[in-house]
Amino acid sequence: MNMTAARPLLAFLLVGTGLSGCSLLPPYETCRGTEAAVAELDRLPVLELHPPGAVAVGGPWAGARCVDDTGGAWLTADRLYAYGGTREDVLDHYRRAAAAAGWRPVGDLDTGPDGRIAVFCFENPDGPSITLAFDSPTRLREVHGTEPHPAARLGVDARTWFAWSAEAAPDGSRMNC
């Protein structure tokens, strides 16, 4: 294509989308009016599953909220745990407990290489997706503001930190992994 001919076309597209208030872009959902769906997601019984001995870590990174970013909104309900066992122990627990509650893993459950954040997803045809994520001590400090030395504070010698989270669309409907 000739650059002389391309310039007016690009100018038209730029001015046209600007004057239309970006209405040529697809609409996306916001967090407005999601309070009931957020509360319902936070009460999901499967979120209370955790290995024996795992200790819930409270704070701003636990609980439910609507996340509204430039790509659209979604709901999340998170539980962060400190655990004295291994990743394999956690995976074995959720392999059994999530299946008993009606959630099936998407793909294989394996731990991946050490030091890497591993995320696993579980789906239920009638419920939201559930993710299991293993966080490194560095990520916990940087993202969650948590110092991974909870022995005195939580009463557990934590070797493994993990998040068990549910995610849904802004209306509370199911999202795929």
User: What is the full DSSP assignment across 18-79?
Assistant: HHTTTTTSPP---STT-HHHHHHHHT-GGGG---TT-EEE-STTSEEEEEEETTEEEEEEEE
pLDDT at 45: 94
pLDDT at 13: 44
pLDDT at 110: 61
Q: How far is CA 42 from the centre of its chain?
A: 13
Per-residue pLDDT of the chain (177 residues; tens, 9 = 90+): 555 554 544 444 444 434 444 444 444 578 999 999 999 999 999 999 999 999 888 776 688 999 987 678 999 999 988 888 888 999 999 999 999 999 998 876 665 555 555 788 999 998 899 999 987 767 776 766 666 555 555 666 777 888 999 999 999 998 888
Give the list of residues 6+ apart from residue 19 with CB closer than 8 angstroms, or none.
Answer: none
pLDDT at 117: 59
How far apart, in whole angstroms, are the C-alpha atoms of residue 63 and residue 78? Answer: 5
Single-letter amino acid, residue 111? T
pTM comes to 0.74
Single-letter amino acid, residue 54? A
pLDDT at 15: 42
pLDDT at 26: 41
**Pairing, β 72-83 against β 63-69:** antiparallel
R_g of the chain computed on alpha carbons: 21
Joined together, the tokens standing for residue 40 give 């319902």
How far apart, in whole angstroms, are the C-alpha atoms of residue 51 and residue 33? Answer: 34
pLDDT at 154: 62
pLDDT at 91: 92
Give the list of residues 6+ apart from residue 119 with CB closer than 8 angstroms, or none.
Answer: 131, 132, 133, 134
